Structure 1
Amino acid sequence: MLCGMVVINASDCPQQNVLGTSRELAVNAKTYPRVGLNSFAETLPLADHEVVLTFDDGPRQPTTEKVLAALAEECVRAAFFLVGISSAEFPELVRRIAAGGHTIAHHSWSHPMMSKITFEQAKEDIDRGIAADEMALDKVSANTPSTPFFRFPYFDSTPATLKLLQSHGIVVFGADVWANDWEDITPDQELRNVIERLETARKGIILLHDAQARTAAMMPAFLHYLHENGYRIVHLVPDAPSQRNAEVEPMMPIMP
């Protein structure tokens, strides 16, 4: 089973009457190698009205900063799946995400469709993205991600790349609810999308994009909706002890 049902201390939040973060959930790849009902058969074991906020394609100026500000206003923690080429461009923003208590996760180097390139090219892009995120975070190029969470661009995995990540003890994330914020829609339309889908699902991993201006503009209203409707935020963190004890293959050298 998953470990780490840790309640966030209310004293960590200086604001009163805010959404807050209900608990942390520590996840390891040995138990839940792939989660998200859009792509896989199972998802995280969340209770009714529990949601996980995840953001893809950052970091980006100024939209990531606006998303971070909205989350900070409500004392909410999320997971950011970073694109390595953007992490290399905005390393200080990566460190700001981490300093806000959020989880740094990975989303490749250049955001390719993995099924359209060779396995060797896909592996290089994954490795290079992880290395760039780790360099931005700690100023050290690491062969193994400090947080072993990955989401494929466009949810486009292959059997070979899924096997690769599982062999390295990396959790692969899909999503349960999303807002179609990659489409040319207004912030109000995006808000309606995510609320309608969440009212049906009632819980789950929510996919948003901090690189999108419409999402940055929508976030305060969406967080207010979650608060007013009794939703609770679950913050994902790596199950560090389990990861250290897991039998996984060593990461191959990072490609230049």
Structure 2
Amino acid sequence: MPSLSRLAALLIAASCALPLAAGASRAAASCEGKLGTSRVMEVDPRGLQVGTKHFPQTLDLAEGEVVLTFDDGPFPATTPAALKALREACVQATFFVVGRNSAAHPDLLRRIIKEGHTVGHHSQTHPMTLADLPYDKAVADIEKGIASDEKAAYGTAGAHPRVPFFRFPGFGSSPELLDYMKTRGIGVFGADLWAGDWVQMTPEVQLHLVMERLAHAKRGIILFHDTRAQTVKMLPAFFAALQAGGYKVVHIVPAATATAAGPQ
């Protein structure tokens, strides 16, 4: 028989666990019948260069698996609606954010993280392109962007980004900049297909275009922009189309053992 003090402790622990279990149960119930996140993929960023629109290889995805990514935010006019659509579909995405936007909207950046999404980096000023800048200025823009994102999200920025994922604006890299990212241990993401949402179109036309491209590619990293109203308006129908088509959403996170190197 446990002692009275031990029994009391067990009862208290059980009573504290009940609300947590109930909360988890309610969360699971609220996602019943939704698209959901099929699995979480831990990605080692060291030497990583993926996305067949820019590189020869991509992530190890099965047929029908997609990774959702959003560029250029956070942006108060549209990012909250994107987050709402993601939350209602119970899926997670990766946001490649611009440093000056992170610095301007830290609360929104922290909300993205709080809601379970991955935050990667997309330079400080989003030049088109980094490859067109002198090498030292391009590196400075990359590093300033990472520092801005880190400070906005976590309050401090050190030598090692918490999430060592990066996407070059406009996929405008160079061999020298790619080598630099390798030395930093920061993985570089391209995309396997994109919405083309930098071109003005209706949400309906954009949905048709994305699903047509996905039917051809069958899997891959999809590039959207959470700064585009047409994309945000399309998302609920897009998630419904993914579910109807039997597609699965994969959420990417950095491998727990990976540590980026300090700036060179």
TM-score, normalised via structure 2 length: 0.87
Q: Where in structure 1 are there 5+ consecutive unaligned residues?
A: 1-8
Which residue does 1:250 correspond to in 2?
262
1:77 pairs with 2:92: yes
CA distance in 1, matches of 2:211, 2:239: 11
1:128 pairs with 2:144: yes
Which residue does 2:67 correspond to in 1?
52
Q: Deviations over 1:25-77 (max 9, x none)?
A: 000123x6100000001000100100000000000012100000000001100
Structure 1 residues 167 and 11: alpha-carbon distance in aligned structure 2, compared to 1, 3 A threshold: farther
**TM-aligned CA deviation for residue 187 of structure 1:** 1.1
Q: Where in structure 2 are there 5+ consecutive unaligned residues?
A: 1-23
Matched ranges for 1:17-56 at <5 A: 17-30=33-46, 33-56=48-71
**Aligned residues between the structures:** 239
Aligned amino acid, residue 198 of structure 2: W
Aligned amino acid, residue 77 of structure 2: P
Which residue does 1:187 correspond to in 2?
203
Equivalent residues of 1:76, 1:233 under 8 A apart: yes
Aligned amino acid, residue 80 of structure 1: F
Aligned amino acid, residue 91 of structure 1: P
Which residue does 2:235 correspond to in 1?
219
Structure 1 residues 149 and 11: alpha-carbon distance in aligned structure 2, compared to 1, 3 A threshold: farther
Matched ranges for 1:76-225 at <5 A: 76-112=91-127, 113-225=129-241
TM-score, normalised via structure 1 length: 0.90
**TM-aligned CA deviation for residue 116 of structure 1:** 1.4
Q: Deviations over 1:114-172 (max 9, x none)?
A: 12110011001000000011011111123321000000000000111100001111110
Structure 1 runs of 4+ off > 4 angstroms?
9-12
Aligned amino acid, residue 94 of structure 1: L
Aligned amino acid, residue 39 of structure 2: R
CA distance in 2, matches of 1:17, 1:250: 44
**TM-aligned CA deviation for residue 217 of structure 1:** 0.5
Percent identity over the alignment is 46
